[in-house]
Amino acid sequence: MVRDDLTMGFMTRTDLNELLGGRYGYGLHSKKTVQQAMKPDFSRVNYGMTVDAVSRLAMQRPLEQLYNPIVVEKDGKYLGIVTIKNLLDACTKVEVDIARHSNPLTGLPGNLAIEKEILSRIFTDAPYCVTYYDIDNFKAYNDAYGFENGDKMLTLLAEILKTCAVRKEFIGHIGGDDFIVICDYHEGERYCGAVVERFSREVKSLYREQDIRNGYIISKNRNGVTESFPIAGLSVAGISNRVRKYENIGDFSQDIAQLKKKCKKQPGNYIEIL
């Protein structure tokens, strides 16, 4: 029930049947106005609220209100309603879309979601910091220890990236040993430092004790030549709009590609953010 675009209350078909049903229901209530019969206690949400947030809100209601529709408002005015069926259908679609575009190993968003996230950030004036993480000597470790252990190293980094997050940073898995984190602030150095410190400490659990004592493993390089490789570390390249605002994705991609190449050439753990 709406008056002057403001939501006053609601009545479902079940409510109406319960009111008028029974031996004396019609006689007692048929002369009441809709305003007298409606329920003024209902759930209302802003139209910009996410499906996930609305779903959690709906499930927190008392049992007798659990399946009531939810009123959607914009600027305090009635916009429409969402039934529980609509809500469940939308949640299912979101989950399917996320699964379709997520990395199967880490469960993190994949390239399609990453591309959308980057484009939504770099053309705005809002602060951002885009950081790329590459595991040094990952291929050598993968060859020496096997793919199963290689997967463990990838999932370890994914969990560390999530654990170190402090402000709902966007975390994505580009593929292989390449990851990305997008922050809604300029100062990404502290986050990157925390990730590198924790990874350097915890990655040792994936090596044999003798290799840790040696400080290196024996494996083959990309040319098939056997040589020693240091314990895995991280190269982190980042770009923010603290100094420069990018007008197109081409300039952004070129700068980050050059920076990633530079970081990869540095020995040991290395972080550089422009």
Q: What is the tens place of the pLDDT at every residue in 24-72?
A: 666 666 666 767 666 666 677 887 777 777 777 777 777 666 667 778 8
Buried b or exposed e, range 75-90, using 16+ CB within 10 angstroms: eeebeeebeeeebeeb
Name the pTM for this structure. Answer: 0.65
Q: Using the predicted structure, report yes or no on whether residue 154 has a pLDDT greater than 80.
A: yes
State which of 44, 61, 91 marks the end of a domain: 91
> How far is the C-alpha of 104 from the C-alpha of 94, rounded, in Å?
16
On whether both 126 and 51 belong to a single domain, the answer is no
In terms of residue numbers, what domain contains 55?
Answer: 2-91
With CA atoms as reference, report the closest residue to 162 among 195, 197, 117.
195
Rounded mean pLDDT of 94-112? Answer: 72
Task: Provide φ and ψ at 165, rounded to 5°.
Answer: -65, 140
CB atoms within 10 A of CB 121: 20
CB distance 237 to 263 below 8 Å: yes
The pLDDT value given to residue 92:
62
The pLDDT value given to residue 61:
74
Number of domains making up the chain: 2
On whether both 87 and 131 belong to a single domain, the answer is no
Rounded mean pLDDT of 87-97? Answer: 60
Of the ranges 31-40, 98-107, 228-237, which is most confident?
228-237
With CA atoms as reference, report the closest residue to 181 among 245, 246, 106.
106
CB distance 108 to 102 below 8 Å: yes
> How far is the C-alpha of 235 from the C-alpha of 269, rounded, in Å?
6
The one-letter code for the residue type at 110 is G
Q: Determine, yes or no, domain membership for 175.
A: yes
State which of 91, 110, 142 marks the end of a domain: 91
CATH number at residue 68: 3.10.580.10
On whether both 128 and 232 belong to a single domain, the answer is yes
On whether both 244 and 166 belong to a single domain, the answer is yes
Q: Determine, yes or no, domain membership for 96.
A: no
On whether both 184 and 251 belong to a single domain, the answer is yes
CA distances, 234 to each of 205, 210, 249 (Å): 16, 22, 25
State which of 58, 91, 124 marks the end of a domain: 91
Beta bridge partners of 77: 74
On whether both 224 and 185 belong to a single domain, the answer is yes
CB distance 117 to 182 below 8 Å: yes
CB distance 229 to 140 below 8 Å: yes
On whether both 105 and 87 belong to a single domain, the answer is no
CATH number at residue 110: 3.30.70.270
On whether both 142 and 58 belong to a single domain, the answer is no
On whether both 150 and 267 belong to a single domain, the answer is yes
Number of helices (H), then strands (E), belonging to the chain: the values are 11, 12
Q: Using the predicted structure, report yes or no on whether residue 271 has a pLDDT greater than 80.
A: yes
